[in-house]
């Protein structure tokens, strides 16, 4: 039964490759790969080895907020198979998890009570690495973005407007986010646990030990999520 329900959730998602048209193309334009349904949109950059970029947006009201990517005068969009998305997505997560952070600069910037930015700038001037985590949980949408790229763009502004945090605290945010993103088929299973743990790290320097507290509890949560998903498919 579990295998059948899992296959039903996957069938709803579509996968796309998007590239700007020749008219709009520039040297800074990077093609993107999408995983889409009416309830969520996952975007990653195609050139994963140069820049790791994962942007996830979830419609909390299940109102069909996310429009399907389509071609227009600015971009060409075509369908791809899930395996192409997964190969890029999994590589991005792998590279992000293997980056070693030096004793550089670590900042957090708060935008009210629902939006937080965490960023790291490497100490190594030759490396010039930055890693950014963007967490926003507003009324309608839950958004998570993580990116890693070369350069110190934005560092002067963060030095002026953000609050410095320790390397250890940044690593808690990073490890928590990477575990949430690790399996792209399990977002809805661990989403509430991720948000709870993220906000907990904001308030205290707690040790992050993962979301899974017991095998039985985890299996029960997975099954309940899939049953809810099955009901929503029938109603739709």
Q: In the prediction, which pLDDT does 215 show?
A: 41
What is the rounded CA–CA span in Å between residue 131 and residue 150?
9
Q: In the prediction, which pLDDT does 8 show?
A: 40
Q: In the prediction, which pLDDT does 161 show?
A: 95
The answer to whether 62 and 39 have CB atoms below 8 angstroms apart is: yes
Pick from 99, 81, 91, 87: which is nearest to 17 by CA? 81
pTM of the model: 0.82
Q: Are strands 141-150 and 14-20 parallel, antiparallel or unpaired?
A: unpaired
Q: In the prediction, which pLDDT does 125 show?
A: 87
Containing H/E element for 229?
helix 215-235
pLDDT tens-place values along the chain, 236 residues long: 333 334 444 458 999 999 988 665 554 567 999 999 989 999 999 999 999 999 999 999 888 888 999 998 888 999 999 999 999 999 999 999 999 999 999 999 999 889 999 999 999 988 899 999 999 999 999 999 999 999 999 999 999 999 999 999 999 999 999 999 999 988 998 899 999 999 999 886 555 555 544 444 545 555 565 555 555 555 55
3-state secondary structure (DSSP) of residue 51: coil
Q: In the prediction, which pLDDT does 29 show?
A: 64
What is the rounded CA–CA span in Å between residue 76 and residue 69?
10
16-21, long-range: CB within 8 Å, 24+ apart, which pairs? Answer: 16/69, 16/77, 16/78, 16/79, 16/80, 17/46, 17/77, 17/78, 17/79, 17/80, 17/84, 18/69, 18/75, 18/76, 18/77, 19/75, 19/76, 20/74, 20/75, 20/76, 21/73, 21/74, 21/75, 21/76
* Total length of the chain: 236
100 CB neighbour count, 10 Å cutoff: 7
Pick from 80, 77, 96, 123: which is nearest to 180 by CA? 96
β-pair partners for 41: 36, 57
Q: In the prediction, which pLDDT does 49 show?
A: 92
> Is residue 29 classed exposed, middle or buried when 0-12, 13-18 and 19+ CB atoms within 10 A define those classes?
exposed
The alpha carbon dihedral of 157, 160, 162, 163 has a sign of: positive
């Amino acid at each position: 039964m579990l295998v059948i329900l899992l296959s039903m959730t996957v069938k709803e998602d579509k996968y796309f490759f998007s590239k700007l048209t020749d008219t709009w193309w520039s040297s800074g334009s990077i093609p993107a790969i999408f995983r889409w349904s009416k309830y969520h949109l996952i975007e990653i950059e195609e050139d994963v080895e140069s820049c790791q970029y994962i942007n996830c947006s979830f419609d909390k009201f299940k109102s069909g907020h996310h429009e399907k990517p389509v071609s227009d005068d600015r971009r060409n969009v075509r369908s791809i198979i899930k395996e192409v998305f997964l190969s890029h997505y999994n590589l991005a997560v792998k590279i992000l998890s293997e980056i070693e952070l030096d004793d550089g600069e670590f900042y957090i910037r708060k935008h009210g009570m629902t939006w937080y930015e965490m960023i790291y700038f490497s100490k190594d001037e030759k490396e010039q690495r930055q890693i950014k985590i963007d967490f926003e949980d507003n009324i309608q949408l839950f958004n998570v973005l993580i990116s890693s790229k070369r350069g110190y763009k934005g560092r002067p502004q963060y030095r002026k407007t953000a609050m410095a945090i320790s390397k250890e605290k940044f690593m808690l945010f990073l490890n928590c986010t990477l575990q949430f993103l690790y399996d792209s088929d399990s977002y809805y299973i661990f989403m509430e646990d991720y948000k709870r743990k993220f906000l907990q790290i904001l308030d205290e320097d707690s040790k992050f030990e993962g979301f899974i507290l017991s095998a039985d509890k985890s299996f029960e949560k997975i099954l309940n999520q899939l049953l809810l998903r099955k009901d929503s498919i029938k109603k739709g």
